[in-house]
Structure 1
Amino acid sequence: MGRTKQKVRYKLNSGGIKSLSDEEIKVILRAADELIGTGGRSMLAKILKGSKDKKVLKYGLNKCPSYGYYCELTREEITKRIDWMIKSGYLKIEYSGRLPVLIFTEKGWEIERETYANELLNKLTEILEDQDYSFVYELKDRNRGMILLLIEKIKNTKNARFIPLLKEWKRIEYKKVQTELQKAINYLMEVGF
């Protein structure tokens, strides 16, 4: 009979870190988003360090906007910041099988949802120039709360140039999101410049 494998143990050590700046919190959460539910503290530290580790490159984690943010720090110093984020309630650890993986807390996801929606808004604003709206296919099946926030942010721009992009996006979405996209189209047609 085979032995059942033990869960991998971990111990949090924030090393006396008392606080992080809002920017650092956003950067760490943005990097964590790349591996929520699939990776742990050490992989997150590698992303933030800017590691050339095989797994980081294989999974395209080097394309994360937070990649290399803490390039001047050691991985141990970065891990202390990650542990502070866990102790402060922005991230938590759950087990996936025997491995500890990172999960957003509600507080952490609220911040990351805002950060990511802003990042996507910037991306969509850039592609208005090319009129190549194929990027909208990447938005399907994303977190609905974040997508609805993104649509609201598009409405708030009052930029009618988003209308063709929204129409293209609407063609591929589920009913609930289609409804919100149509509301945004109607609004921009009314007030857009």
Structure 2
Amino acid sequence: MTVSISLSHEEIRAILRGADAIIAQGGRTLLAKILKGSREKKVLELKLDKSPVYGYFRSEKLDNIMLKIDWMIDHDFLEIEYFGKLPMIVYTERGWLIESDQYTDEFISEWEEWISQKKENPDMTYLKDRNRQMILLMLQKIKESGNKDFIPYLKLWKEIDYKKVKTEIQNTIEALEASEPVDEAAIWERQGRIHEALKGAAPEDFLLKCYECGDRFLFTVGEQQFYKQKGFDLPKRCGDCRELNLEHSYW
């Protein structure tokens, strides 16, 4: 059954941010508890109360938060993958596009705070081994900022990271030092992709081809949700062929 709710862009971003700490390590219930602000032992032991969106839906019932998470799955922001028998939350391509964008903004905001505090020699190892796509996006945004005050932190970061990342960091330093012009069109294009991604993809019925009889058959939204929750692959047979195959198994 399709969840008859709609989430704001802010709520979508919050749920994606909450999922970050448990991607491929926790499921829907654990994510709901982060967003609820649960004081459950497991949440505290895993330090999930440190999430920036911990307690974001504090005033709502856990069941309602679960409905929001299911909406996120239905609309292609999150999905369930099974690791053994355990159903874990992972990002879809759409979800990661949005999350990486807002996560890099968090990093840059933290650097801006360091600048205002005149913080020197921060430990930059927290950026090592991060998702490469996200790191490149962060460097691109730093370059676009034109803020030369970032250069000391870039130099510290360059000292501890891998060769390929060091090259990109150096390119960013040189761009800031040279006051290279900002590619406004690229910024607008990126923002446009995020805006489109936040619209989600509403679930809808679609047709599959039966690999036995070759006929097309309808794969409904309800069936899609059931298959996702169980971690099943898409059905390969139509209903008639499945029934026939089941009958033959009893002969």
What TM-score does the superposition give when structure 2 sets the normalisation length? Answer: 0.69
1:120 corresponds in structure 2 to 107
Q: Which of 119, 136, 157 is equivalent to 2:145?
A: 157
Once residues 121 and 133 of structure 2 are traced to their aligned partners in structure 1, the CA distance between those partners, rounded to angstroms, is: 22
Kindly indicate whether the alpha-carbon contact (under 8 Å) linking 1:14 and 1:83 is maintained by their aligned counterparts in 2: no
Contact between 1:148 and 1:180, CA under 8 Å: does it hold in 2? Answer: yes
Aligned length: 179
Give the aligned residue type for 1:16.
S
Q: What is the rounded CA distance, in whole Å, between the counterparts of 1:168 and 1:153 in structure 2?
A: 18
Residue among 50, 58, 62 paired with 2:37: 50
Q: Secondary structure at the match of 2:124?
A: helix
Q: Which one-letter code corresponds to 2:94 in the other structure?
A: K
Residues 78-132 of structure 1, C-alpha deviation per residue, up to 9 Å, x if partnerless?
Answer: 0000000001110000111111000100000000000100011111111223333
CA root-mean-square deviation:
1.3
**Bigger radius of gyration among the two:** 2
Three-state SS of the structure 1 residue aligned to 2:178 is: helix
- Whichever residue aligns with residue 127 of structure 1, its letter is W
34-43 vs 174-183, which deviates more?
174-183
Q: Match of 1:74? A: 61
In structure 1, stretches of 5+ residues that fail to align are 1-12
Residue identity in the other structure for 1:184:
T
Structure 1 residue aligned with 2:192: none
Question: How does the TM-score come out when normalised to structure 1?
Answer: 0.89
Matching residue of 1:109: 96
Q: 1:86 aligns with which of 68, 73, 87?
A: 73
Match for 2:167: what amino acid? T
**What are structure 2's unaligned runs of at least 5 residues?**
181-251
> CA–CA distance in 2 between the matches of 1:95 and 1:137?
31
Q: Is the 8 A contact 1:14 1:81 kept in 2?
A: no
Q: Following the alignment from structure 1 to structure 2, what is the Cα–Cα distance between the partners of residues 28 and 61? A: 13
The Cα of 1:14 is off from its aligned counterpart by 5.6
Amino acid at match of 1:146: M
Correspondence 1:135-150 to 2 at 5 A: 135-150=123-138
Q: How does 1:181-192 map to 2 (within 5 A)?
A: 181-191=169-179
* 1:43-76 CA-partner distances (Å, limit 9, x unpaired): 0000000111111111111111111000010000
Identity of aligned residues (%): 49
Deviations 1:163-182 (Å, cap 9, x if unpaired)? 11100100111111111100
Q: Distance in 1 between matches of 2:111 and 2:128?
A: 14
Q: Which residue of 2 aligns with 1:97?
A: 84
Offset at residue 15 of structure 1 (A):
3.7
